[in-house]
Amino acid sequence: MIRFDGAAKRHPDGTLAVEGLDLTVPAGRTTVLVGPSGCGKTTILRMVNRMVEPTAGRVLLDGTDVAQLDAAKLRRGIGYVIQQAGLFPHRRVIDNVATVPYLLGWDRKRARTRASELLELVGLPPETARRYPFQLSGGQQQRVGVARALAADPPLLLMDEPFSAVDPVVRSGLQDELLRLQAELNKTVLFVTHDIEEAVRLGDQIVVLREHGRIAQVADPATLLAAPADEQVAAFLGRDRGLRGLALRPAEGIVLLAANTPLDGWTLAVDQEGRPTGWQRSAETIRQVAVFRPGLDTLRTALDSAVLSPARVAVAVDHAGRVIGLAPRAAVLDALDAAGPDTAAGITATGVADGR
């Protein structure tokens, strides 16, 4: 557990970066710091590993003031992932991942074995180990950065906008990977982002910050979206916060129609294995089919699929991509009503439920 006890940072020129922060980061959970640029997110994060020394107050790690700990030893026990990965360009990937074990005195064989296991854990093929960072894509480099942070099995991970420098598709995949790893490893994660969508997707606890690191609200994602503390927080969350809340609701409760149900003249075409190939009506064919997976995806994905469909229905598929049923928008909204009134009200406010 991390506790900030009146932690503050004033630079030598008098600039106040963080003013008297009181915050608890619970063990085994992901806490996300989010707020406008310059609000002190990164400064707060770096106080934990003493890359920034507070000028007032304390930062406690499992009850111990980090100022009393040797800085180098402290950092070796904390995983740290930054934007652009920060890999050593002259070292092969396997030795980048093994950096902290080497510093801890592990022998070469043990360190490299651990590095190989972690590369597999973050979804990289074995041949990646022999490459240099410049031979990898941006997304692969970020995966290596996560593997390096996990190398010595630290209980705490600090992540400073680690996925902001990659394209949206890669970013989504890296977020999925982090969620999978966290479900398996249960680390204490302190994560910095400027993206509220990323915060809602990844965080168990979200801390919305104002200027100088002042806390505007601390809440779980559902509470934050349904009940912002004030108008400033609501404005930061955006006018579509009701839609964002859909990403917290599973799609498995949607009542499906049979795949061959006729819909305003549209028919869903499938291949021999039952996978969707397009929508057909008279002589018109639309090849793109938006789908969702009821056991894995959210109501937001299902609603998006229905909005994108010419027939105004979402196509539900199984893990192999085979069609298992159709979900008209009304069925998605019925599932939304069943999920809870707060989210349903948010959707109506954004104009989706009434057809706009």
Q: Which CATH superfamily hosts domain 2-238?
A: P-loop containing nucleotide triphosphate hydrolases (3.40.50.300)
The SS3 assignment for 82 reads: strand
Coil vs helix vs strand at 334? helix
Question: How many Å apart are CA 19 and CA 211, to the nearest integer?
Answer: 9
Confidence of residue 19 (pLDDT cuts 50, 70, 90): very high
Domain span(s) for CATH 3.10.580.10 in the chain: 267-350
Strand order in the sheet with 323-328: 291-292, 313-317, 323-328
**Band of pLDDT at residue 282, cut at 50, 70 and 90:** confident
Pairing of β 64-65 and β 215-219:
unpaired
Q: Environment class of residue 327 by beta-carbon count within 10 Å: exposed (0-12), middle (13-18) or buried (19+)?
A: buried
How many residues are recorded in the chain?
356
Report the pLDDT averaged over residues 58-75: 94
Q: Report the interhelical angle of 329-339 vs 341-350 (nearest 10°).
A: 140
The residues facing 22 across adjacent strands are 5
Report the helix count and the strand count for the chain, using DSSP H and E.
14, 16
| Per-residue pLDDT at 280 exceeds 70 | yes
Cα–Cα distance, 293 to 219 (Å, whole number): 28
In the predicted structure, residue 85 carries a pLDDT above the cut 80:
no
**Coil, strand or helix at 64:** strand
119 neighbors 97 (Cβ within 8 angstroms) = yes
pLDDT of residue 287: 83
Residue 296 is predicted with a pLDDT of 83
HSE at residue 139, side-chain half, CA atoms within 13 A, is 16
Which are the contacts of 93, defined by CB distance < 8 A and separation ≥ 6? 87, 119, 124, 128, 129, 130, 131, 132, 133, 136, 144
Asked whether 61 and 2 are in contact (CB, 8 A), the reply is yes
Question: Which pLDDT does position 355 carry in this prediction?
Answer: 38
* pLDDT tens-place string over residues 23-34: 999 999 999 999
Residues 181 and 280: their CA atoms lie apart, in Å, by 41
Condensed to tens digits (0 to 9), the pLDDT of residues 207-224 reads 999 999 999 999 999 899
Spatial distance between the Cα atoms of 213 and 115, rounded to a whole number of angstroms: 36
| Residue range 267-350 in CATH 3.40.50.300 | no
Q: Enter the tokens of residue 234.
A: 């609501």
Instruction: Quick: pLDDT tens for 106-135.
Output: 999 999 999 999 998 888 999 999 999 999
Residue 98 in contact with residue 151, Cβ under 8 Å?
yes
Start and end residues for every CATH 3.40.50.300 domain found in the chain = 2-238
State pLDDT tens for residues 181-240.
Answer: 899 889 999 999 998 989 998 999 999 999 999 999 999 998 999 899 999 999 999 887
Phi-psi bin for 278: left (phi > 0), alpha (psi -120 to 50), beta? Answer: left
The stretch 55-76 carries a mean pLDDT of 94
pLDDT bucket at 286, cuts 50 / 70 / 90: confident
pLDDT in tens, 318-356: 989 999 999 988 888 888 777 654 444 444 334 343 333
d(C-alpha 311, C-alpha 33), whole Å: 41
